[in-house]
Amino acid sequence: MTLSENGGASIRPATTSDLATLLEFRMAMIVELFGGEYAPDVDQVATTAANERWIAEHFGRDFIAWMADLDGKPVASAALMWFPHPPGPKNPTGMEAYILNVYTRPEARRMGLARALMDRLVEAARAAGARRVWLRASADGRLLYESMGFREGDYLQLTPD
């Protein structure tokens, strides 16, 4: 079933009343991506609390999100962070947008909800003048993002061990 075939689905901007759901979905995404395993030196309770604080501090400032509701209940979300960079020849405003926390509950997958959420975020980024929109793709999300025009770029990454 797709979003257009499901009359019970709606897409809307997240509000402060959605913060607990945004946290729930972020933590569920982390568990799925990492197989539910945290490094031995990582405290899951502390990680959840840190994410709760971060979302509350950044929501509406440099972090926005959209929700997908099915029959009035949130089943998916996607978020965007604003990244101001120094202006350059390819980006005279310096504004960039990073998409994160794209998550759909398992029972609501393959309905077009993630694509609809992504469309809203890309529209918001373009409206704000962002010249680059980037994200990290899970194996499950890669086909969706590529179908929307996302391509691998020229950034390298160093992660401390």
pLDDT, one tens digit per residue, over 57-104 is 999 999 999 999 999 999 999 999 999 989 989 888 899 999 999 999
> Could you tell me the residue ranges of all domains in the chain?
9-147
pLDDT band at 1 (very low <50, low <70, confident <90, very high): very low
3-state secondary structure the chain: CCHHHCCCEEEEECCHHHHHHHHHHHHHHHHHHCCCCCCCCCCHHHHHHHHHHHHHHHECCCEEEEEEEECCEEEEEEEEEEEECCCECCECCCEEEEEEEEEECHHHCCCCHHHHHHHHHHHHHHHCCCCEEEECCCHHHHHHHHHCCCCCCCCCCCCCC
**CATH value of 9-147 in 1.10.1200.10, 3.90.950.10, 3.40.630.30, 1.20.1630.10:** 3.40.630.30
pLDDT of 2 over the 50 cut: no
Its pTM stands at 0.89
pLDDT at residue 141, rounded to an integer: 92
